Amino acid sequence: MHQNILQYRGRRYLWVVLALLILSLIIYLSQPSDLPPNGGSWQGYTLGGIAAALIVWLALLGYRKRSFRSRLGTLQGWTSAHVYLGSGLLIIASLHCAFQFGFNIHTLLYVLMTAVILSGFLGLFFYLSYPRRLARVRSGRRRTDWLTELNEIDDRIHKLAQRCNARTRKIVESALDRTHLGGGAIAQLRGVDRSLVLRPDRETSESKLIGNPEQETVIEHLASAVPKATKSDEAQVLQELLNVFGRRRTVLSRLRQDIRLQAWMKAWLYAHVPLTVAMLSALVVHVISVFLYW
């Protein structure tokens, strides 16, 4: 039944990684006390070998993820192991280098690896907490359902707007036209509402673009127009518009949160994967240079 990637099979890979860490620590501590621990001792090479193998295996998740016919465990199992072993890698690699850092390719590899692992932690955080938030935002409906409702609301507003005076009609229609949803990567991740509205000036009849975050400007306008309405029919239409815009605000806000959460769940991979590629290149250079300058 449903288990998240940390709980997978009674945290099977947590125990695996703990065993691996204990083994690594024993290897590390077995280095003779007369020489400081170093990547160049046989213990250092062993730890380096383990770390390099781990890196290659961890990177293979990208391959396994797309090998849809593979019978080698389930992808969830792989992901769970990826998380635990990836976290363990940070300690094993530190033991391998024996906490010696400098301005060189070896430390660059360590830094890149740490960046990959930290971006992975970020991804883990998103994967574990955002789906639940997303489900709450969508409250049992699909994104397309919310979009359909938005379309229906807009149709309705268009029809109601035809029964308003020119000024209100302009404001209302421009609010629909200039609603911002989604946008570029940054806009999606920030989820800031940059919707605008055109407000015609009463005297000059020139229009000015002003912000309409969360549809507040237009709601404000409608709310203040209702008490000023002279005909009962007009008041009724404005009242109805006000209600529909209220709902529109909620729908837009839900969609914006939906887009934002989804964006974050994807965005971290744009750091994690390229950093992995960089790390793999650095790993190759590190291994070659170590053996070249033996």
Partner 1 sequence: MIRRVSILTRWEVKSVAMESRFHIAIVGSGPGGLSAAGRAAEHDLGRQDTSHQPTHILLESFKAPAKTIQRYQKGKHVMAEPHFLDLRSPIKFRAGTREAILEWWRQGIDEKGINIRYESEVTAISGKQGDFLITLNDGDTIRAENVVLAIGTQGNPRKLGVPGEDERLVQYQLDDPYAYQDETIVVVGAGDAAIENALGLAEQNRVYIVNRRDEFARAKEGNLNAVLKAINDQSVDFSCFYESHVSAVRPPTDEGESGAIVLDTPEGERTIECHRIVARLGSVPPRKFVESCGVEFPDDRPTSLPELSNQYESNVPGLYIIGALGGYPLIKQAMNQGHDVIEYIHGNDVKPVDHELLMLQFSGLPYMADPEEILALYQQRLPMFRRMNALQFREFILESRVIASVSDDQSREEVEARSRAAEEKHQQTLLERHKDRLAELEASNEPITEADRTPPKPRPATRIMQEGESIFQDGEYTNTFYTIAEGEAHIQYEPDGPVYTLKPGQFFGEMSLISGRPRSGNATIGPETILLETPRRMMVKVLNSNEEVKDGIDWMFIVRVLQKHFAPDLPIEELRKIARKVELQQYASGDSIYDEGDSGDCLHLIRSGTVTLSRKVGDAQIAIDHLQSGRMFGQLALMGDPVRRETATAAVKTETIMLRSREFLALLKKDPQRIDDIQAETRNQLKLETMLASMPEGGNVISFLMDEGLGEATNAMIIDEDLCVGCDNCEKACADTHGGISRLDRKAGASHASVQVPISCRHCEHPHCMKDCPVDAIHRAPSGEVFIDDSCIGCGNCETNCPYDAIHMAPELKRKGGILSWILFGFGSEPGADSEKSATAADTQQSSHKAVKCDGCMDLKGGPACVRACPTGAAIRIGPDRFPELITRR
SS3 208: strand
Separation between Cα atoms, residue 273 and residue 120, nearest integer Å:
10
- 151 makes contact with partner 1 (CB under 8 A): no
- 1 makes contact with partner 1 (CB under 8 A): yes
- 162 makes contact with partner 1 (CB under 8 A): no
Tell me the closest approach of the beta carbon of residue 134 to partner 1, in angstroms: 7
Separation between Cα atoms, residue 275 and residue 254, nearest integer Å:
33
**What are 145's two structure tokens?**
């359902």
E strand intervals along the chain: 196-200, 207-211
Q: Which is nearer to partner 1, 4 or 289 (CB)?
A: 4
Tell me the closest approach of the beta carbon of residue 137 to partner 1, in angstroms: 11
Q: Which is nearer to partner 1, 30 or 67 (CB)?
A: 67
How many residues bind partner 1 (CB under 8 A)? The answer is 35
Q: Which is nearer to partner 1, 98 or 189 (CB)?
A: 189
By CB under 8 A, name the one of 154, 156, 262, 272 that touches partner 1: 262
- 143 makes contact with partner 1 (CB under 8 A): yes
SS3 25: helix
Separation between Cα atoms, residue 167 and residue 174, nearest integer Å:
11
* CB atoms inside a 10 Å sphere around CB 125: 12
Tell me the closest approach of the beta carbon of residue 142 to partner 1, in angstroms: 6
* CB atoms inside a 10 Å sphere around CB 96: 27
**Backbone phi and psi for residue 102, each to the nearest 5 degrees, phi listed first:** -165, -175
SS3 196: strand
Q: Which is nearer to partner 1, 23 or 189 (CB)?
A: 189
Q: Which is nearer to partner 1, 74 or 165 (CB)?
A: 74
**Residue span 7-36 as binding mask against partner 1, x where in contact by CB under 8 A, dash where not:** -x----------------------------
E strand intervals along 131-288: 196-200, 207-211
Separation between Cα atoms, residue 71 and residue 244, nearest integer Å:
53
Task: Report how far Cα 250 is from the mean position of its chain's Cα atoms.
Answer: 22
Task: Please name which of 50, 67, 58, 78 lies closest in space to residue 120, comparing C-alpha atoms.
Answer: 58
- 148 makes contact with partner 1 (CB under 8 A): no
Please report, as residue ranges, which positions from 120 to 139 form the binding site for partner 1 (by CB under 8 A): 126-127, 130-132, 134-135, 138
Cβ(5)–Cβ(79) below 8 Å: yes
Q: Which is nearer to partner 1, 65 or 208 (CB)?
A: 65
Tell me the closest approach of the beta carbon of residue 180 to partner 1, in angstroms: 22
Please report, as residue ranges, which positions from 43 to 72 form the binding site for partner 1 (by CB under 8 A): 62-63, 65-71
| Alpha-carbon distances of 169 from 23, 192, 204, rounded to whole Å | 74, 26, 17
By CB under 8 A, name the one of 140, 202, 203, 206 that touches partner 1: 140
Tell me the closest approach of the beta carbon of residue 4 to partner 1, in angstroms: 6
- 263 makes contact with partner 1 (CB under 8 A): no
By CB under 8 A, name the one of 74, 100, 104, 165 that touches partner 1: 74
Site residues, partner 1 (CB under 8 A): 1-5, 8, 62-63, 65-71, 74-76, 78-79, 126-127, 130-132, 134-135, 138, 140-144, 262, 265
